[in-house]
Chain A
Amino acid sequence: MPEAALLTMMIVLPFAGSLFTVMLPARSRNLAGGTAGAIALACHALAWFLYPVVADGRSARMSIDWVPSLGLEFSLRMDGLAWLFALLITGIGFLVVVYARYYMAAEDPVPRFFSYFLAFMGAMLGIVVAGNLILLVVFWELTSIASFLLIGYWHHNQSARDGARMAMTVTAMGGLALFVGVLIIGHIVGSYDLDRVLASGGLIRGHDLYVPALVLVLLGTFTKSAQFPFHFWLPHAMAAPTPVSAYLHSATMVKAGVFLMARLFPVMAGTPEWFTLLGLAGMVSFVLGAYLAMFQHDLKGILAYSTISHLGLITMLLSLGSPLGAVAAIFHMVNHATFKASLFMAAGIIDHETGTRDLRRLSGLFAYMPITGTLAMVASAAMAGVPLLNGFISKEMFFAEAVETHEDALLDTIAPYVAVLGSALAVTYSLRLIHSVFLGAPSESFPRQPHEPPFFMRLPVFLLVLACLIVGIVPGVTIGPYLHIAVLSVLGPATPDYSLAVWHGVTVPLIMSVIALSGGFLLYLVAANRLEHSAGPLLFRHIDGQRIFEQVQVVLSWRLARLAEAWLGTRRLQPQLLLLVSAALVAAFLPLFWHGFAPAPLSFANADPAFVALWAVGGCCAVAAAHQAKFHRVLALALLGGTGLVTCTTFVWLSAPDLAATQLLVEIVTAVLILLGLRWLPKRSELIHELTTPMSRLRRGRDLALAICAGGGMSVLAYAVMTREAPDGIAAFFLEKSYSEGGGRNVVNVILVDFRAFDTFGEITVLGIVALTVFALLRRFRPAPDSISSPEQQLLQRAYDEAHPDRSPGATVVDYLFVPSVIMQWLFPVIIVLAAYLFLRGHDAPGGGFAAGVAMAAGFILQYMAAGTIWVEDRLRVLPVTWMGSGLLLALLVGAAAWLFDRPFLTSHFRYLDIPFVGEVPLATGSLFDLGVFSLVVGGTVLMLIALAHQSVRSLRAARAREQV
């Protein structure tokens, strides 16, 4: 399909170009500019190639699967409206590139600029040709991001950063709202496909969720198109380089909002809600924007507020819901893009050549740059709606529509007056712009001597102004057919008869035009002087959108965050844990209460007295540990170990040898770990009694009650489940396939390294991350001042040495536990053999990578305990990070190797190998994976233990260093 290919290229080219230009060196202006220009021109040409298709009233399409499981397709679809916009985006894009090549200073990193620019153009093209709503939202967000980068391009500039952040915050939040709105539309229609959505107008308008969907979508479009009350970001975005403003605020960014409203016009317009929301926002933006524009002293500021105003006009037109209104809206989108782009470029030229954009300093420029002056005057006249220019024609259509009655509402009654008022104000600010910049006496105080810009900087302005003129004089034959294609694609059979002509006779709209023009002129005559010296807009001087925005931002991101931190932060852990436990209790209790709960009657039938006795010990240990944990930490640790050993025995008893082995080994390393940590905890003695108040007694009583409730609940739940007949689970599958497909007889191990290897892979990754986190935390570890000196026992031993003349100081510490430590050293090879044994038998008998890894780690740490950190590290180089890295890598490679054989990730393979004298040896890739697990567990465990063990050495060194000083 050539159409599909053309369409795809149109989207791919800008992004590819963006990637290419960003990699260019910072000085290659010409190559970067050339690439951007060529791509914009190529996309423009592609749009023209697609003209025959859309001229037929068809739409070009392309679609590939995107997320098939959700029924989502990456589909592109170009109909008339999209085509017209693509033409504008690429055409004006090309002109802006040419302009920017001469505008940007040599010291700016220009490739970055063009890279952002191309990405933005691609995203914008994506919005207009997206064939489904989700894709549209994705491109929508991409434009927010790209515009953020473009506005903040001069990031050394505070106002650029602020403006970029504000634009991003406002439009991205609108984008989120739009996303939700689109999801609702998708829910109503049952599809996100644009064709199906556009065909379901009645369904959407009649649905209960129509209003929420409309409000959310409008939040998106109003923020993007800078409509009241979200208009405040746009003037601040003027901190961007002028080519960016020329592009974003004429043909693209802000047009995305009105484009989407036009796109959804057939399905969402025509309801009272649509009329009110759009009408209100449009009307206020139209008048307020024009009013505020009058008072600006910054050239770009006038243009920014005028943009808000003109977009308000378009929104107003769309709000009417009438076909003629839509025609006028689309027409004005095109017209506004042309004259506003040229005006921004002219403003940029003035700034570039004189060094200022302040209207109060600029004057009499016509004498220096007559050509630019003429062009800017014509464009301003188009903005003001002067006859024989394109702005006049769409404004006439606007007046005609404003006069028509559409709804019996106040909003509709005042529409004609508002229209004339806004247009008059537009005349005033256009006059002010021209008068104070170009006319009057030439100023002496320009920062630079002004002169005409380079030819290629002026050319884009010239072409755009020419377009304004031609369209303004002979609209029917120039823009007529193309506009008609776009209108047809939106309105379909409802397309009204309309005529694009300059002269319709003496009609009401013409009279309104005359009133607006003369009114605006008179207003300027009266107020020119005052405007020139005003300190800010009358009445609105103290309402600053930016201040409000910042206030809100401070409240949200600072005050609320502080409040949240105070309540949800780590300073209130105890009440939070209480809430958490209570919530869990309630969450477990309610469903049982609602749906009935009848555990089996208590049965003592198969109670084994030995097992009961075992757990009597285990339970006592647990309770005693809970009781002793505050004052007797070592005892609590020992008691905890007691419960652990009983748990271990239970695993053996109840047919889980693998668990028992792992639990036993983990018990050992946990005990070592906590013992290592004990040294850094503060002394706490039972003798110093803390005050027991009635409140604290009450708190304890409450905690105890909660604990007993939770424990009782767990008991009942566990009993109820365990006495029930087991349902047919997946156990049988694993048992049956373990040997035939996994090649191992130890089913638990086969599950871990084969069937569910991906889970295990995730788990060892977590283990690795935790180990690294522990390591990182300990690198900056600073012990509390009272834990820095040597432990009490060592001090006593040293004192003993010093008191006896036959002993040298430190001898007791060196000889301490001498016999056990010799045994521990000798045990090292034995433990290595044990670990190897556990590992090798893992696939067929209890054991495996986890258990073997922990055993090996225990072997290492035993050496540290026996001989001390320094002695061990002089003799043994343990590289835990290497162990971890190679383990993870090995597991990953074993998994990835399956791809070589066209199998999914982590598919295993096994066979038996006959080794002479040894016999048949099972070889499964699962074992290799297990080796990775083993290596990572060794590395992670050792890393944690050693990092903790090192602290004693470190703080000793630190203390010695301090003594020497």
Chain B
Amino acid sequence: MELTLSAAIGIITASGIWLLLRPRTYQVIIGLSLLSYAVNLFIFGMGRLRTGAPPVLETGAAVDPAAYTDPVPQALVLTAIVISFATTALFLVVLLAARGLTGSDHVDGREPHG
């Protein structure tokens, strides 16, 4: 389980970083989205992996913390998902505006010479 997930994080990260270093804005935006998956999964993994133990309490009675998975990384990731949506939107709009202003979708705002 851990091995699979960490390999997956690695693959997504590598794909994301590859795209991050590409010259076209669309590639960068896809790369950033991939990176945000990887980072979210990474943070989520910090709470260790458990199946069948969601942090939703059964009853109001005494709670055994060992019976549930760690809710803290989940709370962190939940807001991160929403915020990363917002930054994606911002970046998308910036790239569209830049494309409108400069006429190029190169990240540097102009086509490379030669």
Contacts and interface: CB of A to CB of B under 8 A. Distances in A.
Contacts of A771: 86, 89
A887 to B, nearest CB: 13
B55 A722 contact: no
Interface string A833-864: 00000000000111000100010000000000
A731 to B, nearest CB: 4
Contacts of A739: 57, 60, 63
B89 to A, nearest CB: 5
A940 interface: yes
Interface in B2-61: 2-27, 29-31, 33-34, 37-38, 40-42, 44-58, 60
B82 A854 contact: yes
B17 A707 contact: yes
A655 B6 contact: no
Contact of B92 (A619, A630, A673): A673
Given A581-B20, A726-B70, A654 B49 contact: yes
A474 interface: no
A756 interface: yes
Interface in A675-701: 677, 680-682, 684
B99 A710 contact: no
A51 B10 CA distance: 75
User: For chain B, which range describes its interface: under 10, 10 to 19, 20 to 34, or 35 or more residues?
Assistant: 35 or more
Contacts of B107: 573-574, 577
B74 A659 contact: yes
A134 to B, nearest CB: 36
Contacts of A738: 57, 63, 71
Contact of A781 (B31, B38, B100): B100
Given A722-B48, A846-B54, A571 B22 contact: no
Nearest to A766: B83
A298 B78 CA distance: 70
A612 interface: yes
A767 interface: yes
B109 to A, nearest CB: 6
A725 to B, nearest CB: 9
A445 interface: no
Interface in A280-301: none
B7 A615 contact: yes
Contacts of B47: 726, 731
Contacts of A658: 74, 78
A314 B54 CA distance: 76
B81 A654 contact: no
B5 A711 contact: no
22 contacts: A607-B4, A625-B34, A629-B30, A636-B26, A643-B34, A654-B51, A655-B51, A659-B77, A684-B24, A703-B21, A711-B10, A712-B14, A713-B10, A714-B38, A715-B6, A726-B70, A731-B70, A734-B71, A746-B57, A752-B78, A771-B86, A850-B79
Interface of B: 1-27, 29-31, 33-34, 37-38, 40-42, 44-58, 60, 63, 65, 68-72, 74-75, 77-79, 81-83, 85-90, 92-97, 99-101, 103-105, 107-110
Given A659-B81, A735-B55, A778-B93, 20 more contacts: A574-B108, A577-B21, A630-B22, A630-B27, A647-B40, A651-B44, A659-B77, A666-B82, A716-B10, A718-B5, A721-B46, A726-B70, A735-B71, A736-B63, A748-B78, A770-B86, A773-B90, A780-B97, A782-B100, A785-B103
Q: Which 3 pairs across A and B sit closest by C-beta, in order of nearness?
A: A711-B14, A715-B10, A719-B6
Interface of A: 570-574, 577-578, 581, 602-604, 606-608, 611-612, 615, 618-619, 622-623, 625-626, 629-630, 633, 636-637, 640, 643-644, 647, 650-651, 653-659, 662-663, 666, 669-670, 673-674, 677, 680-682, 684, 703-704, 706-708, 710-719, 721-723, 726, 729-732, 734-736, 738-740, 745-748, 751-752, 756, 759-760, 763, 766-767, 770-771, 773-774, 777-778, 780-785, 844-846, 850, 854, 937, 940-941, 944, 947-948
